[in-house]
C-alpha cells in the first residue's frame, strides 16, 4: 500500500491562542494547496489530527481531490506512533495522514527504518509498505513546501 504523510501547513505563532486552536497562515494554505496538487495519487481517504491547523490542512487536500476526510484522535501530537496508526479503521492504500512534528517525522522515519526524515510544515512524504511496521516501508517521495510552491503555480 502507498500512504502519504503530510505535516500540517505553517500556522499562527505559539502563544497567541491555545495550541489546539491555531490556524494556518496564508502562506501555510498556499503551501498545502501546492503539496496537494503534487500528490502522486488521488487519495482514497484523508485522516487528520483533531487540531485546527491539521483539520484545515485536510480540508484543503480534500477540496483539491474531491474526497472526504476524517478526524482521528490517534493522530493528535501526543498519541501518534506506529501502534496508533494501526488502530485507525479504514487506513489502507492511497490514504493520506495529516499530523504534526515531531511525531509525524518519527513515524515516517520508523517506517523506513533509518535516519531521521525531516518534514517542514506543509511537507509531504510518500511511503510504500506492506504493513505498518518499523523498517518495512520504502520512502518513494519527499517534497518540502518551498519546492512545491516553485513547481505549482496558483
Largest CA distance in the chain: 42
For residue 21, the model assigns a pLDDT of 93
pLDDT of 149: 87
Q: What is the pLDDT of residue 153?
A: 74
* C-alpha to C-alpha distance for 60 and 2, rounded to whole angstroms: 20
What's the pLDDT score for residue 152? 86
Q: What would the mean pLDDT of 109-131 be, rounded to a whole number?
A: 95
The mean pLDDT value for 28-34 works out to 96
Region 58-68 average pLDDT: 98
Q: What is the pTM of this model?
A: 0.96
What is the model's pLDDT at position 28? 97
The residues, ordered by sequence, that sit 6+ positions from 68 with a Cβ below 8 Å of its Cβ are 45, 46, 62
Q: What would the grid cell of residue 29 be?
A: 494554505
Q: What is the pLDDT of residue 16?
A: 77
What integer pLDDT is reported at residue 154 of this predicted model? 65
Lowest pLDDT segment from 13-17, 120-124, 140-144: 13-17
**Which domains are seen in the chain, by residue range?**
2-151 (3.40.50.1240)
Amino acid at each position: 500500500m502507498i500512504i502519504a504523510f503530510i505535516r500540517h501547513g505553517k500556522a499562527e505563532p505559539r502563544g497567541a491562542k491555545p495550541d489546539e486552536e491555531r490556524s494556518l497562515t496564508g502562506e501555510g494554505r498556499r503551501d498545502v494547496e501546492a503539496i496537494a496538487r503534487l500528490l502522486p495519487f488521488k487519495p482514497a481517504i484523508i485522516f487528520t489530527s483533531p487540531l485546527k491547523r491539521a483539520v484545515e490542512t485536510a480540508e484543503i487536500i480534500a477540496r483539491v481531490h474531491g474526497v472526504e476526510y476524517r478526524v482521528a484522535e490517534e493522530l493528535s501530537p501526543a498519541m501518534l506512533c506506529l501502534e496508533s496508526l494501526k488502530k485507525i479503521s479504514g487506513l489502507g492504500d492511497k490514504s493520506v495522514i495529516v499530523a504534526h512534528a515531531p511525531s509525524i517525522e518519527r513515524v515516517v522515519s520508523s517506517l523506513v527504518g533509518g535516519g531521521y526524515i525531516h518534514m517542514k510544515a506543509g511537507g509531504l512524504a510518500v511511503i510504500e509498505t506492506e504493513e505498518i511496521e518499523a523498517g518495512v516501508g520504502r520512502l518513494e517521495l519527499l517534497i518540502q513546501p518551498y519546492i512545491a510552491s516553485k513547481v505549482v503555480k496558483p
